[in-house]
Amino acid sequence: MRRCAAALSTVVLIVAALLVSTDVVSPRAAEGSAGGTRLNAPVTSMAATPDGGVFTYGYASYFGSVPGHGITGQPTVVGIASSPTGSGYWLAGANGAVYSYGDATFFGAPDASHLVAPVSAIATS
């Protein structure tokens, strides 16, 4: 039960940090409005849980998750990064695992036995 509560609190913190508006079901939020202030872009964000679950908001699309594909074990996902087109994303595991969804191309992953420290984030370049 503690593990579920910790994972949920992690998601809540990530979502709170990423969302501009908490009213994501509102048409105004989908259009890119936060409390009546017009934004330059639509509200779009993604959050990943430590077990590899993915939550999308606004115009962000869902393409899959680690548990949804029957991947066993505890990957401890530490980050999510959108593909350049926005039509996919990569999830990074602390053990060096990389999971790709949508149009995010899988380029490989480091051998976990050669990591000198756990992976802590992922970014596109």
Query: What residues make up the domain containing 52?
Result: 2-114
Judged by DSSP in three states, 82 sits in strand
Report yes or no on 121 lying in a domain: no
74: nearest Cα among 55, 93, 90, 89: 93
Report yes or no on 84 lying in a domain: yes
Report yes or no on 119 lying in a domain: no
The yes-or-no verdict on residue 20 having pLDDT over 50 is no
Report yes or no on 122 lying in a domain: no
**CA–CA separation, 116 vs 62, rounded Å?**
33
Q: What pLDDT score was predicted for residue 119?
A: 92
pLDDT digits (tens, 9 = 90+) for 44-101: 788 998 989 999 888 888 999 998 888 877 678 999 999 998 899 999 999 999 999 9
Tokens of 84: 């350049």
Sole residue written with tokens 């976990």: 112
Q: What is the reported pTM? A: 0.64
Report yes or no on 94 lying in a domain: yes
For CA atoms 92, 64, 56, 81, give the dihedral sign.
positive
Report yes or no on 107 lying in a domain: yes
**CA–CA separation, 118 vs 87, rounded Å?**
28
CB of 97 closer than 8 Å to CB of 78 = no
Tally the domains of the chain.
Answer: 1
**DSSP letter assigned to residue 49:** -
Tokens of 86: 């926005």
